[in-house]
Chains A and B, each alone.
Chain A
Amino acid sequence: MKDKLKQMDDYEWVIERSARPDMNADGKVIGNKTIIDAMEDDAIKQLTNVTMMPGVVSPVLALPDAHVGYGLPMGAVAAFDKEEGVISSGLCGFDINCGINTIKTNLKADEVKEKIKDLIPALFDAVPCGVGSKGKLRLDPSKLDGVLVDGVRWAVENGYGIKDDLEHLEENGCMEGADPSKISDLARKRGKSQLGTLGAGNHFLEIQTVSDVYDEDTAKRWDVEKDNVLIMLHCGSRGFGHQVASDYLKIQEGAVKKYNIKLPDRQLACAPANSEEGQDYFKAMKCAVNYSFTNRIVMTQWIRETFEKIFKKDWESMGMHTLYGLCHNVVKLEKHKINGEKRELFIHRKGATRSFPGDIALIAGSMGTSSYVLEGTEKAMEITFGSTCHGAGRAMSRHAAIDKFRGEKIKSELAGKGIIAKATSPKVLAEEAPNAYKDVDEVIESVHNAGISKKILRMNPLGVLKG
C-alpha cells in the first residue's frame, strides 16, 4: 500500500481513492521522509480501510506518530458527514478520552531534583496505579451520574480541583449532552471503584523540566519559563470507558447488519450518525469522556497534596495550576470548512490531539525522552480537521519489547541519565522502553514543519511513575 502514497510536499503524502476498490475518500499521511520510510505498510492499509466507511469526508488522516492499531491506525483522524455519515465506537476505541493533563509549577529543576527520590515514591502512594488499582475515592453509586453528566464541574463541587482548572481543559472538562440512561449496569459497576486511578500500560505520571522555550511570548502568556518543572499525567476512562466501548461495539455490530453497512474490518463497527445506535453511543461516550476528565482532575488534586507534603508549601504558592488537559480518543461534532463551505462533521480522533488555533497540544514522548507542548494553528484547520499528533508512537510491539528489553536494566539506564522510574511491574518498563517508540523529535519536526501545530516548549523527564 505504501508504494501508492504520492508525495505532495516535504510533509504531506496522499493515497488517492483510486488506490483500492471501494475507497470513498483519499487518505493523507503527515510526516517527513524518515517517518514515512519507517511507517508500517499495514498502517496505511488500515487507513484505507477507514476511507471505505459510509459518509466519510476526505481525507482520512494518519499523523506522524501513527502505527498499526486495531481497526484503524493509532494516530488517525476520520471525519464523517453529520447526515450521511456514521458515528463509530470502533474508531474511537476502548479507552474513551484517554488523554493528558499538564500541571504547571513555579519550582525550578534543581529544587525538584533534590527531592525527587522522596517525591516519586510519595506520588506512587498517592496516585493508585497498576492493574486492579482501586481509587481512594469510593464513589457512592448514586453519585456516579453527577460525574457522568457534569464531569469536572462535579469534581470542583466535591473538592477536587478548582474553577480555574475548568477553564484550562478541552470542553471545559465536560462534554454537554451526556446521558447516563445509556450506560449499562456493568459499566457502572466497573466505574464506581476506579475514579482517581492511573491504570497501566502506557499510562504514566511524569515530572518534567522545561529544557527549551521556542516561543517566549506564548510561554510567557502561559506563565511558563525555562527550567520550570511541569507534571504530565496520561490516563483515561478506566474500566468504565472500556465497558461503554465494549457494550456499544456489540450494539453497533448489530447496526452494521441492520443498516447493511459494508465494512472491510469488523473492528470498524459504526452506526448511521442519525440512528438510535449512533446517537445512543454518542451520549454514552460523552459520559465516559466526562468520567475521564474527572479521573485526571481527582489525581491532579492528589498530586498537588503530595507536592505540599514534600515541599512543605501550599500548592497555590507553588503555582500548581492546570496548563491544559485534553482528549486523545474522542468523537466530536465540529464545524469545518470543506471546499469553502462550513459543514458539521463527526470528527473521530484516535490517538490524536485537537489543534485549533490557540489550542494547547500536550505531546508525550516515550519514557526517558523529551515531551513537547505545541500550539494549534490555522493550517491544522485547513489540512487535518484541526488535529495534530499525540505522542511518539510505538515502533515495536509490546511483545517484541518484552523479549528484547529487561525492566530492571531500563530502570538503571534511566537512572544513569538522572531519571527516576518506578513501576508496579518491571515488565511494564520493558514494554514501554524508550527504544520501543519512534523518535519523538522526528514526529514533532514533522507536525511543526507541516504547520499543523507550532513548537512552544520542550521538556525533559526527571522522574516517571508507570502503572
Chain B
Amino acid sequence: MKYKFKDTITSDVMFEAYGKDPKELFENAAEALFSVICKIDKISTKKTEKLEMKSENLEDLMIHWLQGLIAAAEIEELFFSKFNIIEIDDTHVIAEVSGESITPEKGETVVKAITYHEFKLEKIKKGYIVNISLDI
C-alpha cells in the first residue's frame, strides 16, 4: 500500500504514506497529496518540472517537499501525477515531477497547506511511515 486516508480530523484531511526508503516515502506522500487536489488517475505527464529543496532534517524536508509541491502547482498552474525522486538525503531532495495544465474538470479541492498536526515521520521495520494532516 502506498498511502491510506484516516478519519481522525474533523476539519480537514489526514493520511499515512509508506515507503521502503525515503525516496519511495516522499513519492508516495506526494501522490497522496495530489489525489486530494485533483483526479490524479486522469492527469497525464506531458509537462515536467525539476524541483530542489533543502531543510534541516528528514522530517522538515518532508513538510517542505509537500508544501513546495503545492506552491509549484499553483505558480506553474499544473496538476502533478508523477513524482520521481532523483536524489534524497536527510536535508536535501531533487525531484522531477510531471503533470499537465490545470483544467477545472480534473480538479478536486484546494489544499491550503501542510500542517504539523499529528505530524510524524518514523523509521519502522519495513521502511518508513509518515502521518500528514492537510488544511483544506
Contacts and interface: CB of A to CB of B under 8 A. Distances in A.
Interface of B: 5-14, 37-38, 67, 70-71, 73-75, 77, 79, 102, 104-105, 107-110, 112-117, 119, 133, 135-136
Interface residues of A, number: 48
A280 interface: no
Given A189-B75, A397-B10, A242 B116 contact: no
A412 interface: no
Contacts of A400: 7
A131 B10 contact: no
Given A190-B74, A266-B116, A467 B110 contact: yes
Contacts of B6: 399
Contacts, number: 124
B97 to A, nearest CB: 15
Contacts of B7: 397, 399-400
Nearest to A190: B74
A399 B13 contact: yes
A142 B38 CA distance: 32
Contacts of B11: 67-70, 74, 394, 397-398
A95 interface: yes
Main secondary structure of the interface of B (DSSP, over half): mixed
Contact of A398 (B107, B110, B116, B136): B136
B117 A71 contact: yes
A132 B74 contact: yes
Interface string A171-195: 0000000000000001001100110
User: What's the dominant secondary structure at chain A's contact region?
Assistant: loop
Nearest to B67: A246
Interface of A: 40, 67-71, 74, 90, 93-95, 130-134, 186, 189-190, 193-194, 199-202, 239, 242-243, 245-246, 249, 265-267, 269, 394-400, 424-425, 427-428, 431, 467
A274 to B, nearest CB: 24
A267 B104 contact: no
A320 B12 CA distance: 34
A201 B108 CA distance: 9
Contacts of A95: 112, 135
A92 to B, nearest CB: 12
Contact of B107 (A132, A395, A431): A132
A266 B119 contact: yes
A265 B118 CA distance: 8
A132 B10 contact: no
Sorted from nearest, which 9 A-B pairs have the closest CB atoms? A132-B102, A70-B117, A131-B107, A94-B113, A70-B115, A266-B116, A200-B110, A267-B116, A67-B10
Nearest to B114: A246
Contacts of B114: 246
Contacts of B112: 94-95, 201, 242
Given A201-B110, A245-B113, 12 more contacts: A68-B9, A71-B116, A94-B112, A131-B37, A131-B110, A132-B107, A199-B110, A200-B109, A200-B110, A201-B109, A246-B114, A399-B5
Contacts of A267: 115-117
